Structure 1
């Protein structure tokens, strides 16, 4: 189905709910995640993996990634990853420019917001508190709160239910194909972020409704910039 850009813009400006992925979208955990994977890979596959090799690991839960590598060592590898990840967390996590100002503006305008992440809730909250964005989110749907994870619609549907929202007025924003496909599967609008480590072109291949160059661009998309 095709529609005019004006009609699409009007529909996007009717959105009242924003679901955000966390890692690589609102907080810059990329170095932490990559280093955690490299540390783990070096323990089990010495000298085999480089930075570019583990980029593809980003997005799905750890269990899915490690299951493909060695089904018998999923728990062991996950523990190795998490011990390193937690130890280095505060040192390696940084903020993305414009995120806090954008969340402030959305909060002021009364938008309903939630985090939908494939992280465990405790770890997600650790990063949110470190970056000072936890105050914007009463609703967090994490990996340990669902049976199915993105791109399955369950976590998005759970977030929308908690917020009292409907898909046709909701947008899912993320840096991974799992976010875009999750939004499509749940019937929401979708937005990719150009700072995705997987690349803007790769993310665009999944046809999000919007590609954000910076997080403040979201304010323009929603029609609230300069309100």
Structure 2
């Protein structure tokens, strides 16, 4: 096992407060008579903005997408936070020589903003965003594109994420799959996805990688 692919939002960076605030800001503007609780917004976390806004049967989905992104970018650095131990773990994995990539359903500009904000952009050899693919996660295409860019194969790779789109994209591409135990949607949600493992920390992930490598 020599290739590690990571989702970004909710996996490496705690962008959930930003995403929830951005959706609430957008939905509040376009549907002022509705009240949106956090749990009403959770289903929108994971899919692309296009898919989320189209699901509302809203003809103004492109305008809503632009409205969302304007707020999201403006508030990004104030609302995005670290998960305890995750960034330190990324540095350790990089030092061990793993090929590392990001596979996300976000657009490239805000992805790069987040990676630079926490000084982790140089840790990744490839970053695949929604702008790079025809079929977003859970389709295999984003993972397969990352593997080709890294010169790797599915049998040597792991897809790590916090959502069904991440786990199924990895499964569809033939990689092992890892769900992060700090996912917003909770452990029962993750267990139903049947990943190869649910990790509770980066140390747990490293130990699992060592075990998988020994038994490979």
TM-score strictly above 0.5: yes
Unaligned runs of 5+ in 2: 212-216
Is 2:7 aligned against 1:38? no
User: What is the TM-score when the length of structure 1 is the normalising length?
Assistant: 0.90
Tell me the CA shift for residue 74 of structure 1.
0.8
Give the one of 7, 18, 21 matched to 2:4: 18
User: Secondary structure of the equivalent of 1:60?
Assistant: coil
Trace 1:1-227 onto structure 2 (pairs within 5 A): 15-46=1-32, 47-223=34-210
Give, in whole Å, the separation in 1 of the partners of 2:19 and 2:2.
31
List structure 1 segments (4+ residues) > 3 angstroms apart after TM superposition.
none
- Encode CA deviations 1:46-76: one digit per residue, 9 max, x unaligned: 2331111001110000000100113411111
User: What is the TM-score when the length of structure 2 is the normalising length?
Assistant: 0.95
Unaligned runs of 5+ in 1: 1-14
Give, in whole Å, the separation in 2 of the partners of 1:67 and 1:151.
17
User: Secondary structure of the equivalent of 1:97?
Assistant: coil
- Encode CA deviations 1:12-43: one digit per residue, 9 max, x unaligned: xxx11000000000001000000000011101
The CA RMSD over aligned residues, in Å, is 1.1
Give, in whole Å, the separation in 2 of the partners of 1:52 and 1:88.
21
Give, in whole Å, the separation in 2 of the partners of 1:198 and 1:40.
22
